[in-house]
Chain A
Amino acid sequence: MARAVTPQRKIINTAAAWAVGLAIFFPILWTILTSFKTEAQAIADPPIFLGFDWTLENYKVVMERSDYAKYLWNSIIIAGGSTLLGVIIAVPAAWSMAFVPSRRTKDILMWMLSTKMLPAVGVLYPIYLLFIKLGILDSQIGLVIVLMLINLPIIVWMLYTYFKEIPGEILEAARMDGATLKEEVIYILTPMAVPGIASTILLNVILAWNEAFWTLNLTAAKAAPLTAFIASYSSPEGLFYAKLSAASTMAIAPILILGWFSQKQLVSGLTFGAVK
């Protein structure tokens, strides 16, 4: 029997859900609101919620002072490039773990995930030195590589989970039909895993877009993405909350819009296999 939901209960549940949702969203909302305040109103005590003089001044200043397009371009290249490279490496890796597992496959998956348990700063020094030696400090390619490596365990894990859902007999049928391993992956596995691959790509673009530790530590001027753009406004010059908020809003806007339009895909991808 379906559980009976009384109207009162429904109202309480809805209110609770909204409260939690708003609590999570509030910092972002506050940032967006602050970006339209003057510097004085931004630090006013008590804080002003809506009753301030709306202004676009901060955006104007930020646009004048920094080259937004350059940061945006770097973010797109770094987030997109690292995800693409990661997927290209992870598809065959996840394929082999899902379809020809060895006795150690589970251990390897665990070991890959364990790299995420190490605090990033623990390997900052060796990676920094390595980047200097290789001459890729403050370069797009350097960040593409490092962010790909950071997110690779997650990409492999997600793809592995999706691939596990694909019946092995279909791949065997392809093998019987004369498909080589490459053809099997290109014509059968990948098209069948498109929803899973798409949500993996989306999630990893978001993760790479927001990654701040490596992007801040390994870039200076040339390859700096939007995270550095934001950071440049929380500077020793003093606290300019309104301008910092304007920069933040501009940095998160593209990914927020992308996430909004793909939320259906993202949710169905992340709960893939959970519901039959």
Chain B
Amino acid sequence: MGRITLDKVTKSFGDTNVIPPLDLTINDGEFVVFVGPSGCGKSTLLRLIAGLEDVSSGQIRIDGEDATNLAPAKRKLAMVFQSYALYPHMSVRKNIAFPMKMAGVDEAEQKKRIEAAAKALNLTDYLDRRPGQLSGGQRQRVAIGRAIVREPSAFLFDEPLSNLDAALRVNMRLEISELHNQLKTTMIYVTHDQVEAMTMADKIVVLRAGHIEQVGSPLELYREPRNKFVAGFIGSPKMNFIEGSVAAQHGAHTIGIRPEHITASETAGLWQGVVGVAEHLGSDTFLHVHNTGLTDTITVRVNGEFGLRHGDTVYLNPEMDKLHKFDAQGLRIA
């Protein structure tokens, strides 16, 4: 089981209020991602759940029991840190065994679980090495192994992939998702990378300055962002925002349209502009279009083979049914 409930939880450091009163429920078996720009309080929130920081007020319940004042070890949660936080003086085997040693698991059972974890994480050949002799990806797998063997009620991940290079990050992302499918254990994952959030989460919690901006499935957030902040944060490249008379025509203060919901043409379209930088990804090309009279730059996703170059005139056609409308406060207009 791993149902975690936060009830009016707050956290202040001195006079600085990092988390204003916050309510959140994480259901058993869910993969929840906390996402937001740096300094939004997502790591603090994770550390509050872990028990590494004390809440200033409010209550944290794990499986219905009050865990607010429980020591980290008593919460039955396992954590994977950004820096891996392996014990450098211990072999991989001893690293993985450490939480079991602390819990007094008998030797035979320890051995069984270490071997199972090593096999699942491709670490069998490295059990007698020290962390210093491993690559970044292997170290992260050891950290995950150390978390698995405890059989926790939930896993906490604090930006676990941000120290890895891009290719490895994609691999580990898949591995962690696969692990969640196998174990079906609650996972809480903190990241600033919206791609990780979109690809891994059952439920995304978007945070800004300690406030929850929106909670929902990746596609809910993508389709119906509650406000401009979420609209701009979820999706890559970012949503285009247009203010002024064009927005007013739609009865909104601001309208938003995603780059993938605009088609570009060399001949005719609703909007006209000049191609600035064209980023070629092969499969897609992102055009940064200027001089549209709407806003500084409109980003458009076009086919990878699209022919226009820097300085060419381009015509744009937004898909009107995919338009997002926001009021002066930035809130979504239904």
Mark A residues whose CB is within 8 Å of B.
Answer: 167, 169-170, 172-180, 183, 187-188, 191-192, 194
A182 shortest CB reach to chain B, Å: 11
The answer to whether A183 and B102 have CB atoms under 8 Å apart is yes
The answer to whether A169 and B85 have CB atoms under 8 Å apart is yes
Q: How long is the Cα–Cα vector from A22 to B300 in the complex, in angstroms?
A: 75
Closest to A194 in B: B89
Q: How long is the Cα–Cα vector from A194 to B71 in the complex, in angstroms?
A: 28
Closest to A188 in B: B87
Query: Which of A170, A175, A192, A194 lies in contact with B73, CB distance below 8 A?
Result: A175
Q: How long is the Cα–Cα vector from A176 to B85 in the complex, in angstroms?
A: 11
A163 shortest CB reach to chain B, Å: 15
The answer to whether B72 and A176 have CB atoms under 8 Å apart is yes
Closest to A192 in B: B89
Q: How long is the Cα–Cα vector from A175 to B150 in the complex, in angstroms?
A: 13
The answer to whether the Cβ of B222 comes within 8 Å of any Cβ in the partner chain is no
The answer to whether the Cβ of B83 comes within 8 Å of any Cβ in the partner chain is yes
B29 shortest CB reach to chain A, Å: 21
The answer to whether A177 and B150 have CB atoms under 8 Å apart is yes
Query: Which of B79, B82, B89 lies in contact with A176, CB distance below 8 A?
Result: B79
Q: How long is the Cα–Cα vector from A192 to B82 in the complex, in angstroms?
A: 20
Q: How long is the Cα–Cα vector from A169 to B46 in the complex, in angstroms?
A: 14
Beyond A191-B89, A192-B88, whether A173 also contacts B79 by CB under 8 A is yes
The answer to whether B98 and A175 have CB atoms under 8 Å apart is no
B101 shortest CB reach to chain A, Å: 8
Given contacts A167-B85, A175-B73, A179-B102, 19 further A-B contacts (CB under 8 A): A167-B83, A170-B88, A172-B85, A173-B85, A173-B87, A173-B146, A174-B87, A174-B98, A175-B71, A175-B72, A176-B77, A176-B78, A176-B99, A177-B102, A177-B146, A178-B99, A178-B102, A178-B150, A183-B102
The answer to whether B87 and A170 have CB atoms under 8 Å apart is yes
Q: How long is the Cα–Cα vector from A2 to B209 in the complex, in angstroms?
A: 47
The answer to whether the Cβ of B252 comes within 8 Å of any Cβ in the partner chain is no
Q: Which residues of chain A have C-beta atoms less than 8 A from B82's C-beta?
A: 169
Most chain B beta-carbon neighbours within 10 Å: one of A178, A191, A192:
A178
Q: How long is the Cα–Cα vector from A173 to B73 in the complex, in angstroms?
A: 10
**Which of the four size classes fits the interface of chain B?**
20 to 34
B70 shortest CB reach to chain A, Å: 12
Closest to A171 in B: B85
Closest to A166 in B: B88
Q: Which residues of chain B have C-beta atoms less than 8 A from A172's C-beta?
A: 52, 72, 79, 81, 85
The answer to whether B85 and A170 have CB atoms under 8 Å apart is yes
The answer to whether B99 and A169 have CB atoms under 8 Å apart is no
The answer to whether the Cβ of B281 comes within 8 Å of any Cβ in the partner chain is no
A255 shortest CB reach to chain B, Å: 30
Closest to A173 in B: B85
Q: Which residues of chain B have C-beta atoms less than 8 A from A183's C-beta?
A: 102
Closest to B75 in A: A176
The answer to whether A169 and B146 have CB atoms under 8 Å apart is no
Beyond A177-B150, A178-B99, whether A169 also contacts B83 by CB under 8 A is yes
- 12 residue pairs of the A-B complex, CB under 8 angstroms, read A170-B87, A170-B88, A172-B79, A173-B79, A173-B87, A174-B87, A175-B72, A176-B52, A176-B78, A177-B146, A178-B150, A179-B102
Q: Which residues of chain B have C-beta atoms less than 8 A from A173's C-beta?
A: 79, 81, 85-87, 146
The answer to whether A175 and B85 have CB atoms under 8 Å apart is no
Q: Which residues of chain B have C-beta atoms less than 8 A from A194's C-beta?
A: 89
The answer to whether A176 and B87 have CB atoms under 8 Å apart is no
The answer to whether the Cβ of B328 comes within 8 Å of any Cβ in the partner chain is no
The answer to whether the Cβ of B334 comes within 8 Å of any Cβ in the partner chain is no
Q: Which residues of chain B have C-beta atoms less than 8 A from A188's C-beta?
A: 87
The answer to whether A169 and B81 have CB atoms under 8 Å apart is yes
The 6 closest A-B pairs by CB, nearest first: A178-B102, A177-B99, A178-B73, A173-B85, A169-B85, A191-B89
A96 shortest CB reach to chain B, Å: 17
Q: Which residues of chain A have C-beta atoms less than 8 A from B87's C-beta?
A: 170, 173-174, 187-188, 192
Q: How long is the Cα–Cα vector from A224 to B283 in the complex, in angstroms?
A: 85
A172 shortest CB reach to chain B, Å: 5
A187 shortest CB reach to chain B, Å: 8
The answer to whether B52 and A175 have CB atoms under 8 Å apart is yes
B15 shortest CB reach to chain A, Å: 13
Q: Which residues of chain A have C-beta atoms less than 8 A from B78's C-beta?
A: 176-177
Q: Which residues of chain A have C-beta atoms less than 8 A from B98's C-beta?
A: 174, 177, 179, 187
